[in-house]
Structure 1
Amino acid sequence: MDAGRLRADLLAACYTVDAVLDRIGEAGQDGLGRNMTVPADVALGGARDPLAALIRLFLLQRRVPRADLAGVIDVESLTAAGYLSPEGENLAADVDIRPYGSPDDGASGWVVSDLTPGLDLNMTPTRPDYVLGVSPASTTLAQITARTPVASALDLGTGCGVQSLHLGRHATHVVGTDVNARALDLAALTAALNVADVDLRAGSLYEPVTGERFDLIVSNPPFVMSPPSAEAETLTYREANFEGDRLVETLVRGAADHLNPGGSLQLLTNWAILDGPWEERLRDWVPEGCDAWFIERERLDVYSYIEMWLTDAGLAGTPRWRSAYDEWLAYFDRLGIRSVGMGWVQITRAERAEPHLRFESWPHAVAQPVGDVFARNAEAVTASLLPVGELLAARPMLVDVEQEMIGRPGAEDPEHVVFRQRVGLLRAVKADTALAAVLGALDGDLTLGQVVAAVAAVLEVDPAELAAGVLPEVRKALLDQLLRIV
């Protein structure tokens, strides 16, 4: 099939994000977000122009008269490739070709995947080799990915290929891998439609890149902790028949062997919570010479987790629901899984004398994209660990931070001052008078030592005692990136 011709046809029909949104309106877009096509269908009315025909065909999964698509797309070529099916005088889509927009980095174009399941409550079991399209998870992974220019990047478990589109904006060479042959076929079409150069390879986990190293590895792996099943029944886009969270453990443990010095692995994934502290178990996964940052964004009890993934598999309302539910419960009980942590992981081959390992729960709102936060993490860790003398000689400054005064109404002085980030993870520091004075004066011109001495003189306290009190908070502010050394 001629991907170049299809790209030209889609552009000629104005089948782009902005044009589609303008055509179906906010209600239509919101409806599709709920897997409901009626609002968009109503917005199209009786229109039979090329854009309306493509919206109905791919986004609404309607049967479209062949006559409406004649001269719009190469029907014969798409049918021969298995992307369209004739039904009398109508045509039906067998894949989803969807406009994709990314104003953050310009990775816009089209993404090819399998049809969205469950439209208009039409629940059907999911095929084992199903290729997922752009999902909230894939969008989040793109938003948390460090976008520093690099020579090489690996999209591990590429699926429909959307992460490779983003990686191609800042990586010279992009490799995409997947165990699912159908995923590789659709990812190839995604790449071709977007004129993206992606080296696609078949294989599981790190097998296709044995002996290779990358500056950046990203993955939203098939992490779902479902009971092992026959290969013919395994949903390859979300599960891999590893016991519990062993697949995630394997990715983390193998990261150092596939990263260049300073390179990072970034995952959107989940992990099992057993009886002991979750941090201790995950700490053992981190390979030697690597920093690690695990951020738990959400924690689900086993019932919520099971219900979510059984529904995702199309089992809601079917006779298999309860038996599958019981099977999952027994499996979790055997493994001792009490709940499931879901979040973000960054493993960096920092090669420090003492690796920096950070585990935290951060369920609060963030300002996406937060890729810059991960991109600057190694620098922030280094700054936070400076020896006292070097730290006092450094020139930190507040970055993208607002200062708030909090106190009782009518009070002459605030009870405390809050320094709050406007970007990234939106962290905040509640400061007393001394810390607020120090942080407020850090603008990159004076050294930290000079600021501490000046504040000590104003407050009439011993500079050494003031430094001892504020330096731990300054280190934390550096690590959390409220402060940056210039």
Structure 2
Amino acid sequence: MSTTSLPSPDRAAPLRAALLAAGFTADGLLDLLGAPAYAALARAETVPAVRATRGDGPLATLTRLFLLQHAVPASAAAAALPLEDALADGWLERVPAGAHAGAGAAGDGPADDAPGGDAPGEGSVRARVDVRPYGGPDGEDWFIVSDLGCAVGGAGGIGSREEGVVLGVGGASTTLAGITVRTPVGSALDLGTGSGIQALHASQHATRVTATDVNPRALDFTRLTLALSAAPAAELLVGSLFEPIGDTTYDLIVSNPPFVISPGARLTYRDGGMGGDDLCRTLVQQAGAHLNPGGYAQFLANWQHVEGEDWHDRLRSWVPRGCDAWIVQREVQDVTQYAELWLRDAGDHRDDPAAYERRYAQWLEEFEARKTKAVGFGWITLRRTDADRPSIVVEEWPHPVEQPLGDTVRAHFERQDYLREHDDAALLEGRFRIVEEVVQEQVGLPGAEDPEHVVLRQNRGMRRATKVDTVGAGFAGVCDGSLTAGRILDAIAQLMQQDPVVLRDRTPEAIRLLVEQGFLEPADR
């Protein structure tokens, strides 16, 4: 796989036109396959899609070629795309005489699943790369190009042993794309670009995009992804971490790095080659020096939970000088779960049982040597502020969220700026309003005169919920931007027959928390 030469992007435009004309798009596939088969395909389960594409027509042909990686009759391929150009440019290849005509390079699917049959002497063709429709955030029809058989997901993992394999669209890449701040910027860096998904997103709101990868094949795939998606070309640089860019700084840095904590660097796409979580730590620590003032750096990462150490403190120590940070732990796995996940990903569970047991033991020995009891996964966002009092928020949030979260991330850091600029006295002089998607819930026994407690809940973004006392509920309920916080508290004190001075003294901390978590927003912003 990794030794195969890649297609030329020079004539990507006619191929793109043919794919679009056939309806080979995210929406077109949903219509063709139906929701259950479409969802199964996202999990790398192909059997429902094979059954849904047994008919004729260009869309079924292209789906079998590029997504299911089955061979198709050359005549069917010619009806769906410019066949001779696709063969000459390396997108397709002819199936050698005598080869199984019903299956492509991936080797899946029986011959009688293929629609029709080859005309005498006509032969069949098959894809040389995976081309996957991908819907952009504003309805763009994009295509992600990657190695064959490397869809991410499914119980069996990707199962490739090729060191230079390049993956396509997976849950991690779409998560990072969803949390990235999408304000217009002058420059963006996609570090460890892979098949170019993050660079493709960045090309829509950055004047200049740079993509780097230690794997030269990944840059070739990024070039194909951008060309076939009709996106602007990016600057492509080979190298590890920030070495390829020297001292260059950016307004946005994104990276879905090879964060897997493993005993050795077997697979370039996932194993960083450094001990433990050193690669993620190094990436985060070095990012600050490459950010322009106000710029964001956003990463996915794994980190160790080490015996005798608070994982919050471990991650706080990664944050570079001059940066605010928001770090969210989304999941924690014990070391046995973690080892099993990535052993399956590499297909080791299909090996000789004794070999599997040896590799499993190597993972556990590595964790034991590092006193690692679990591994966390989550998001790390930095913002270059050069503030004297940086805001570093490290939290665990395993609950469902609503993507995309780019605006939520940006708003978080804007609220940190506001809170840093306003002491308690200034906070009481401020005017606030309840954020639009927040609702109030009263929890208590049916028929009870008063609720046991009141909950404020966000219906969008992070979907947080927080309990508030009577004062907090009353305060939030009347925040419409017309009165200062101090005047609202004075009115509440009068209604509840409390000392207004005492209430003013003890409430700013609660207001600060409601603002920080996004339940209240300053009325003048």
Whether the aligned pair in 2 keeps the contact of 1:107 and 1:169 (CA below 8 Å) is no
Confirm or deny that 1:206 pairs with 2:242: yes
Confirm or deny that 1:421 pairs with 2:430: no
Whether the aligned pair in 2 keeps the contact of 1:105 and 1:166 (CA below 8 Å) is no
Query: C-alpha offsets along residues 113-154 of structure 1, whole Å, 9 cap, x if unaligned?
Result: 112348896975331111111101111111111112222111
Partner of 1:111: 144
Partner of 1:94: 128
Deviation at 1:470, TM superposition (A): 2.1
Map 1:73-472 onto structure 2 (within 5 A): 73-87=81-95, 88=97, 89-102=123-136, 104-117=137-150, 124-197=159-232, 198-229=234-265, 234-275=266-307, 276-319=309-352, 320-385=355-420, 386-399=422-435, 400-472=437-509
Name the CA distance, whole Å, in 1 between partners of 2:454 and 2:156.
51
Aligned residue for 1:444, secondary structure, equals strand
Whether the aligned pair in 2 keeps the contact of 1:456 and 1:466 (CA below 8 Å) is yes
Relative to structure 1, is the Cα distance of residues 472 and 324 closer, same or farther in structure 2, using a 3 angstrom cutoff?
A: same
Aligned residue for 2:16, secondary structure, equals helix
Residue from 22, 35, 38 that aligns with 1:26: 35
With normalisation by structure 2, the TM-score equals: 0.88
Letter in 2 for 1:78: A
Aligned residue for 1:287, secondary structure, equals coil
Whether the aligned pair in 2 keeps the contact of 1:404 and 1:419 (CA below 8 Å) is yes
Partner of 1:7: 16
Whether the aligned pair in 1 keeps the contact of 2:150 and 2:168 (CA below 8 Å) is no
Whether the aligned pair in 2 keeps the contact of 1:350 and 1:378 (CA below 8 Å) is no
Query: C-alpha offsets along residues 244-263 of structure 1, whole Å, 9 cap, x if unaligned?
Result: 11111111111111001111
Letter in 1 for 2:493: A
Deviation at 1:85, TM superposition (A): 2.8
Letter in 2 for 1:365: P
Query: C-alpha offsets along residues 217-247 of structure 1, whole Å, 9 cap, x if unaligned?
Result: 1111001111124xxxx31111121111111
Greater mean deviation of Cα atoms: 88-97 or 267-276: 88-97
Relative to structure 1, is the Cα distance of residues 120 and 465 closer, same or farther in structure 2, using a 3 angstrom cutoff?
A: closer
Deviation at 1:387, TM superposition (A): 0.7
Query: C-alpha offsets along residues 287-335 of structure 1, whole Å, 9 cap, x if unaligned?
Result: 1111122111110011111111111112222123222111111112112
Name the CA distance, whole Å, in 2 between partners of 1:53 and 1:278.
50
Letter in 1 for 2:358: S
Letter in 2 for 1:20: L
Residue from 493, 500, 514 that aligns with 1:477: 514
Name the CA distance, whole Å, in 1 between partners of 2:462 and 2:507.
22
Relative to structure 1, is the Cα distance of residues 124 and 474 closer, same or farther in structure 2, using a 3 angstrom cutoff?
A: closer
Name the CA distance, whole Å, in 2 between partners of 1:126 and 1:375.
39
Greater mean deviation of Cα atoms: 65-74 or 470-479: 65-74
Letter in 2 for 1:473: A
Aligned residue for 1:186, secondary structure, equals helix
What is the alpha-carbon root mean square deviation over aligned residues? 1.8
Name the CA distance, whole Å, in 2 between partners of 1:120 and 1:178.
28
Letter in 1 for 2:164: D
Letter in 1 for 2:465: A
Name the CA distance, whole Å, in 1 between partners of 2:192 and 2:418.
34
Deviation at 1:161, TM superposition (A): 0.8
Whether the aligned pair in 2 keeps the contact of 1:107 and 1:165 (CA below 8 Å) is no
Name the CA distance, whole Å, in 2 between partners of 1:429 and 1:91.
58
Identity %: 45
Greater mean deviation of Cα atoms: 383-392 or 140-149: 383-392
Name the CA distance, whole Å, in 2 between partners of 1:120 and 1:431.
43
Unmatched 5+ stretches in structure 2:
1-7, 98-122
Letter in 2 for 1:131: V
Whether the aligned pair in 2 keeps the contact of 1:107 and 1:166 (CA below 8 Å) is no
Deviation at 1:419, TM superposition (A): 1.0
Aligned residue for 2:20, secondary structure, equals helix
Unmatched 5+ stretches in structure 1:
none
Whether the aligned pair in 2 keeps the contact of 1:37 and 1:120 (CA below 8 Å) is no
Deviation at 1:75, TM superposition (A): 3.3
Deviation at 1:39, TM superposition (A): 1.3
Whether the aligned pair in 1 keeps the contact of 2:159 and 2:345 (CA below 8 Å) is no
